[in-house]
Structure 1
Amino acid sequence: MRRSTMRREPTPDPAAQTADSGQTIHDNHPRLAVTVLCAAGIVVALMQTIIVPLIPALPTMLHASPGNTLWAITITLLVGAVVTPIGGRLGDMYGKRLMLVLSQASVAIGSVVCAISASLPLFLVGRALQGLGFGTIALGISVMRDIVPNRKLGSSVGAMSASLGVGGALGLPFAAAIAQNLSWHTLFWICAAAATLGGVGIAYLVPGSPIRTGGRFDILGALGLALMLACLLLPLSKGAAWGWTNPLTLGLLCGFVVVAVIWWFVERRTRNPLIDLELAVERPVLLTNVASIATGFAFYSMQLIPIQLLMAPTSSPEGVGLDMLQASLVLAPSGLLMFLFSHISARITAVFGPRVSLAIGGVVLGCGYVVFLVALVGPWRIQWWLILVVSALIGAGLGIAYSAMPALIMRAVRVEQTGEANGVNALMRVVGTSTSAATVGMILTWSTITVTGADGAAVPVPGQTGYLWAAAISLAACVLSSCLALAIPSKPIRVEEI
């Protein structure tokens, strides 16, 4: 019989471990390996945003209806959400470096398939393969715990976490520039080359870890998790198009509840479960994961709101009138600030602990939304530089918060569970971003007004009421994240089986 006991335990020193290549991991900081891992994380993050500038052209490119081509976004999100915790568990069992190489290979192959596609079905296959690489950031963080000395672990993990923001922020202008000046095929060929280089770099420059959990892979648990996430994420991402009262939407949400209950009881009785649920409900892990959902919600709201405001015609009350490339360049610095503040987060964590870092990150995020709300209700007209300020605050807050989350997870779990635990935490961020996409998308659609565009045509844009409600709800998510962070125990706790 399994039972949990709580006790404090020092983190194993990676310097004393021996890599699977037979080499000893010394106390020297493996900067090159960390750089390669961060670059691989940026490549994967790019896969989430490079599709955005292509959305208006997808029906023509792939000879399909606009409603069907939106699956190019949905299928990548769904596959990525499913594979992230599964990849983390497989990394713990069979080697994190191996799973990282396979992740980059999937992105490379998927990019090639997209590049040669001339029809929607083949393009969706490529996008699904790209989604298989989404576990890279969680796996990279877990590898760093094995190969990076403790004195440099915080900054390295922070840089890996920030690669999500860097890739996301740079993806829009990068994709817009390539698509406008070359072709969309070239865009995916470049992604394939980048992923290939990432895989080769990981294989040759990242030390392997000797830490393995072994055991049998929980296939039934993986299938149940995939079904559960499909029933949740599909209605969240497609509910606005299907209708929130549509029988399909309601049926999938009910199916999620049923499958989740069954999966929970089955996993509790499995000898080697995909996810250790006893660990998942322990206070440090549970509070960190719920805070991750709230932070992910606040993060993605600011991905959805500014781009629409910046690209709205100046004839609309809040429109700035920029094109896609100009708007993307205004938002790009947020990703760079996220990277910079991930290092500041490491210093805060070293002095005050990761829960304080997470709380501060939530406060800085909230400040960004406060500035945005003040700008909306003020007598002045919103300018692009004001959105730049708001975006900078959001980037700084995310850099602090996202860097603290892995630190909180890693001090609460055993070293051989790092991949699994970080995978679940990354999944919680996806749940937060998906919920934000559904909620904010619904609010902005509900508030839509029609204005006259530059060419005289009628253009539907969100109204001020929608922006206000979306920003207010996101501000509440920031407050919730900070409160949950402060409720996390201040001292590291381990959960062990005896």
Structure 2
Amino acid sequence: MSEAVISPVRPARIGKLAIGALGILALALGTLQSVVEPALPLLQEELGVSAAEGALIGNTLLITGAVVAPVAGKLGDRYGGKRVLVGLMAVVSAGGLLAGIAPNLPVLLFGQILQGVMVGALPLSFILVRKNLPAGESQGAIGLVVALFTGGGIVGTLIAGPIAESLSWQWMFALPTFAIIAATLAVVRLMPHDPPIGSGHRIDWPGVLLLSGTLLAFMVGLVTVANGDLPPLGVGVLTLLVVALATGWVAVERRAAAPMVDLRMLAKPAMWHACVLTFVITTAFGMVTFLLPQMFSVSADGHGFGISTTDIGLYLLPGAVVGAVSDSVGGVAARRFGPRAVVVMGAVVTAATMLTLASVHSAAWQLALAKVLAAFAAGVGTTALLAGTATAVEARDTGIATSLLVVTRVIGVALGAQVAGAILAAGAGTGAGADQPSEAAFVTGFTVAGLVAATSLLLVRVTKKEVRA
């Protein structure tokens, strides 16, 4: 059946209530996304899982997001932004409610996988705003939606502890989900339907499935290897599976008419330089994000602080605020000093902070300050690379280039958290408690994070020489 050609129409003016509904939805989604970080030690204790398995709780959401991000906008253009947004919110709501009744880790992980499609909400919201508002007004509306999503991250960091401690950890997933359902119903009522845009290319579903399988197999492999659950033969088989899936994904993407991720972009020096640097920066930050809440929660009788989930959220709050601010600072810094200078600054700050923390971690404020510094450095560094790449490629390639960097950023954070979880899991049983990581494991984790961040300095130097050559 041939697709009808949609004639251009003037954007319909939508009211403040419709924009408000999108903003409240973004706020609720940001809240649901961020409740895991401060509550992760509590979840590990309640579910009786290791640090490496606990890292999967947050990473499954990131993995789904990495897969959904490149295709959400395409789906919205093809089928209509409102229709796809409502469908994705139904999946997110199912995941949030499932997590709200989860009796064990596998059920919670499946709920997190479903919640991960929330990443597609922002590009779909942008589609709706662009189609229903004039250009000048749409910029302000997009800014509001992004700001409220970021604000939701701060809200989630604050409320996770009080909800988990006064009710149960399941409620910290359920309550934001109720808000998502209510906001989605408001969007359905207030937002007009947007017409689909005809396209001659199919969605790259084989690429979506292969990338999903590759990332999941890799993360599960890290957990099983860290826990010692696999014999050497099993490790070899799992490694071959990951390699085979990754190879298949690359082959599919190279042949697809409309690939999920256009790998040909990586042939451009500016693109692959930015991807490599983004991956290194976010891997180091992912380790920091995982390690700090774990050390806050370790018994005060040993080398930790034994603080509650609520207090963990309060100690992490300054870092969440600074991380949100750094995204706007990164673009300004890139224009003034250049992306490479910003990356160098961020790498120096992160490496110095983590290597210092490996030696000095006797007070909770030291960990809180480390989160602030690391969040700022990672935020300005990755945003500067994103802004620099967007202006370095041709205008028609901006969407492809930025989506590649977004996917790289998400995968880097997930990998860093999983590596940190594996390090702590390997060091469990030798510290103050039989089920707690040793101080040496934390020192190793902080040191590795610092060294990974320092690798950015070497990469900047190498890529700079290539550009000159």
Correspondence for 2:349 among 361, 364, 367: 364
TM-score (normalised: structure 1): 0.73
CA distance in 2, matches of 1:97, 1:244: 45
**How far does residue 475 in structure 1 lie from its aligned partner after superposition?**
1.6
Who is 1:291 aligned against? Answer: 277
The alpha-carbon deviation at position 211 of structure 1 amounts to: 8.1
- For residues 129-151 of structure 1, the C-alpha deviation after alignment (integer angstroms, 9 at most, x for no partner) is 2122234457678999998979x
Instruction: Pick one of 242, 253, 258 that aligns with 2:244.
Output: 258
Cα deviation digits, residues 418-448 of structure 1 (max 9, x gap): 5554443233223223332333223333344
Q: Counterpart of 1:468? A: 443
Q: Hey, what's the Cα distance between the residues in 2 that align with 1:401 and 1:209? A: 38
Does the C-alpha gap of structure 1 residues 153 and 485 become closer, same or farther in structure 2, counting only changes over 3 Å?
farther
Name the residue aligned to 1:22.
11
> What is the CA-CA distance between 1:224 and the residue it aligns to?
2.4
**One-letter amino acid of the counterpart of residue 56, structure 1:** E
**SS in structure 2 opposite 1:132?**
helix
1:328 has 2:313 as partner: yes
Which stretch shows the higher mean deviation, 320-329 or 110-119?
110-119
195-204 vs 347-356, greater mean Cα deviation: 195-204
State the shift of 1:463 in Å: 3.4
Give the equivalent residue in structure 2 for 1:431. 411
- Distance of 2:322 and 2:341 partners within structure 1: 19
Match of 2:119 among 134, 137, 142: 134
How many residues get paired?
Answer: 452
- Corresponding residue for residue 42 of structure 1: 30
Alignment of 1:142-221 (within 5 A): 160=146, 171-197=156-182, 199=184, 215-221=201-207
The residue aligned with 2:454 is 479
* Whole-angstrom distance in 2 between the partners of 1:285 and 1:168: 29
**2: distance between equivalents of 1:402 and 1:112?**
33
Asked if the contact 1:341–1:400 (Cα under 8 Å) also holds between the matched residues in 2, the reply is: yes
User: Taking every aligned residue pair, what percent have the same amino acid on both sides?
Assistant: 24
Q: Tell me, what secondary structure is at the counterpart of 1:351?
A: helix
Partner of 1:396: 376
Is it true that 1:348 corresponds to 2:323 in the alignment? no
Q: 1:110 to 1:443 in 2, by over 3 A?
A: closer
Structure 1 residue 383, shift from structure 2 partner: 0.9
Per the TM alignment, residue 227 of structure 1 is displaced from its structure 2 partner at its CA by 2.6
Is the Cα contact below 8 Å between 2:219 and 2:418 reproduced in 1?
Answer: no
Match of 1:109 among 67, 74, 94: 94
Instruction: After superposition, give the CA deviation of every residue in 1:63-105 in whole Å (9 maximum; x if it has no partner).
Output: x999999875564444334333333543465566654444333
Q: 1:369 to 1:314 in 2, by over 3 A?
A: same
Distance, in Å, in 1 between the alignment partners of 2:383 and 2:149 is: 10
Contact 1:320 1:384 in 2 (8 A): yes
Code of the aligned partner of 2:118: G
Contact 1:95 1:212 in 2 (8 A): no
Say what the alpha-carbon RMSD is for the aligned residues.
4.5
Which one of 370, 373, 391 corresponds to residue 411 of structure 1? 391
Greater helix percent: which structure? Answer: 2
1:205 and 1:339 map into 2 onto residues whose CA distance is: 28
Displacement of 1:221 after TM fit? 2.4
> Offset at 1:397?
1.6
C-alpha distance in 1 between matches for 2:175 and 2:8: 32
The CA deviation at 1:278 is 0.8
Q: CA deviation at 1:181?
A: 0.9
